[in-house]
Every structure is written in structure tokens, then in C-alpha cells.
Amino acid sequence: MKFRKGFVVLLSVLFAFAAEAAPSRVLKLGHAVPEENAYHYGALKFKELVESETKGDIQIDVFPNNQLGTGERDIIEGLQLGTVDIYFGSTGPMGGFEKKFLLFDFPFLFRDKKHVYEVLDGEIGKYVMGLLDSKGIHGLAWMENGFRNLTNAKRAVNSPDDVKGLKVRTMENKVHMAMWRVLGVDPTPMAWSEVFTALQQGTIDGQENPVPVIYTSKLYEVQKHLALTRHVFSPAMILVAKPLFDSLSPERQKIFEKAALEAALHERAVCDKMENDFIDSLKKSGMEISTPNLAPFQEASRKVYDEFRGELGDDAKLLEQILASGK
């Protein structure tokens, strides 16, 4: 009898401990890139910080490599649908959700990374991020994917004349595509999962991406030339489904905000190191790297400003403020 009572007490203690130890919420964090990418390092840091600060009461499961969608836009739509809780990734598709995000897609907008973060971490960045709340998405912090650069299999690029006639994969972003058109390039939107094979088969001549993406995707196997054009900076964001964020207590909202800022700074540092290290690695892998004079590219790209400034409405003035602050 005593044994039975003792056994019942033991079971009760074990069940109570299990209930206490089990997370009350398990959240899905998705991104579209491989685990070698800086986004993934940022996501793991965010997971670590939130789980630590909530003592495991909130668990975050990280799903890399498009496991929660067919691409970044799909994952972001998941935030609105409630099938994804947290997103780490590029702002490339954000213009389709809020037009003011086109602001950051203009070519040669930023002087350098110091200039980038004066803008993104300042009032302009806070304002643009805040526009997402009305879309069912809440922005937590700005990360990065770095400056985008051009690769191709045909020739070295040192001037705008060298890019004419190239067929280049771009994101499905109308500002980016317009920039390439004015330079005489045939911009070809294509799902990222198809790009390596298309380059290998010669369906396209080149693509444009930050250095870490070029290296971790092994594009040096199918591309001979890299031009450090730094034509567009690729901001990235940590986003959360707004209904989820609103359901958190004020204390836990602060935990999410603090963790996102720390994770974003970690991701930026990883991205910087990768860019520096991978340029050397790309050279060793046989890529020929050029550093073109960017002034003629910038001059040609002014037409894009004239074409899309109107889409920003009254906020076109922010474009001028960013340009002025970079001088």
C-alpha cells in the first residue's frame, strides 16, 4: 500500500515537473537561405536569447532553406496567414506589401554601411518599419544581406559598356529591374532555386547578389567574373506576426525587441566578416574580381529615380534626405 502511494506521489511530481518544463508556446521561425548564411546565425541567436529570457517557456523552432514556403514572399505571407510566426530575411519582396519599401531599392542610394545604419536605425528606418503594422506584420529590427554585386560568365566588367547585352537574373523587384534596363542589361526574374542550373546551362549569363550569397551558393563553379558594383544595398528584417506580438505580455514584448536587436547586431557582424573572408575565398576559387569606377553607373541610374520617385508620394522627400545625408 505504501509502495502504491509512493508511486502515485512520484508520478504526480514527474507530471508536474514535465508540465512546468514544457514550453507554453512553440513558434516557427522561417527563412529562405541555407544554414551557412548570416540570416541563419542571426536566427539562432534570436532563438537562444528568447528561450533563455523566457526560461524555456517560449520555444522557437528554426526552419531554414524555404522549409516554410517557396520563397521569401511566401514566408512573409505566412506571417499574415498565421502559418509562420517569425521571419528573418530580405526586404526584396516588401515593396509588394508596402510601396514605401521601394525607398531602399534605389540604386547607389547609400554611400557605405555607416550611412546605411544611420538611416535604418534612425527615424526613417523606424517610420518605414512601422508601416507594416497595418499589414498584420510587426517589424522588430533591421539586419542586412550586404551590398549587391554582379557576376557573369562572359567578360570582366569595368564600365557600363561591359554589361550591355548580358542576360542577368534579378529579384522580381521593379526598381532593380529598371536599373539594369537603363544599363542595357536584360533583367530576368527567376526563383533562386533555379539560378545555379540556369547559369550552368547558359540560359542566363549572370546574376547579382552580395558576396556571402555568391560564395555560399558556390557560384564560382559557374561564373568567372565578379564585379564589385555595390549597386544596391540589401537590407533585411526580423519580422513577427502582429497578432502573435500583440498577444505577448508587455514584458515578453520587450524580451522579443531586445533579443531582435542583439540578434540583428550579431547577424550584421557575421555578414561583414563573411564578405571580407569570402572575397579572398572567391579569388582562390578562380574568380576574376574587378572594382569598376562606379560614377558612370551612378550617372546612368539617375533615370530610375525619375521613373519611380512618384511612387513614394509625399515620402519622396525621404529619398532626398537619404541622398543628402550620404554626401
The model's pLDDT over 91-130, given as tens digits with 9 standing for 90+, comes to: 988 988 998 999 999 999 999 999 999 999 999 999 999 9
In the chain, domain spans: 22-325
* Cβ-based neighbour number of residue 186 at 10 Å: 15
Q: 296-299 — which CB contacts under 8 Å span 24+ positions?
A: 296/159, 296/160, 297/107, 297/108, 297/160, 297/183, 297/229, 297/231, 298/107, 298/108
Residue 236: closest CA among 89, 82, 52: 89
* Under 8 Å between Cβ of 192 and 32: yes
pLDDT at 95: 85
Lowest-pLDDT range of 16-25, 83-92, 178-187, 292-301 = 16-25
Per-residue pLDDT averaged across 286-306, rounded?
96
**CA 23-249-31 angle, 5° bins:** 60
pLDDT at 4: 58
Rg (CA), the chain: 23
User: What homologous superfamily is domain 22-325 in, according to CATH?
Assistant: Bacterial extracellular solute-binding protein, family 7 (3.40.190.170)
pLDDT at 5: 56
Confidence of residue 160 (pLDDT cuts 50, 70, 90): very high
Q: In this structure, what are the phi and psi dihedrals at residue 134, rounded to the nearest 5 degrees?
A: -75, -10
Could you identify the residue written with the cell 520563397?
71
Per-residue pLDDT averaged across 261-278, rounded?
96
pLDDT at 326: 86
Q: In this structure, what are the phi and psi dihedrals at residue 11, rounded to the nearest 5 degrees?
A: -60, -40
pLDDT at 12: 55
Q: Is the pLDDT assigned to residue 18 strictly greater than 60?
A: no
Could you identify the residue written with the cell 557600363?
160
**CA 235-239-241 angle, 5° bins:** 155
Query: What is the maximal distance between C-alpha atoms in the chain?
Result: 92
* Cβ-based neighbour number of residue 251 at 10 Å: 9
Q: Is the pLDDT assigned to residue 10 strictly greater than 70?
A: no
Q: Which helix (H) or strand (E) holds 87?
A: strand 86-90
Report d(CA 230, CA 110) in Å as an integer.
9
pLDDT at 21: 63
The 10s digit of each residue's pLDDT in 35-49 is 989 999 999 999 999
The 10s digit of each residue's pLDDT in 49-71 is 999 999 999 999 999 999 999 88
Give all strands (DSSP E) within 113-223, no chain letters. 137-147, 149-152, 167-170, 186-189, 206-209
pLDDT at 201: 97
Q: Is the pLDDT assigned to residue 301 strictly greater than 50?
A: yes
Measured CA distances, 271 to 26, 36, 38, 264, 286 (Å)? 28, 11, 6, 10, 22
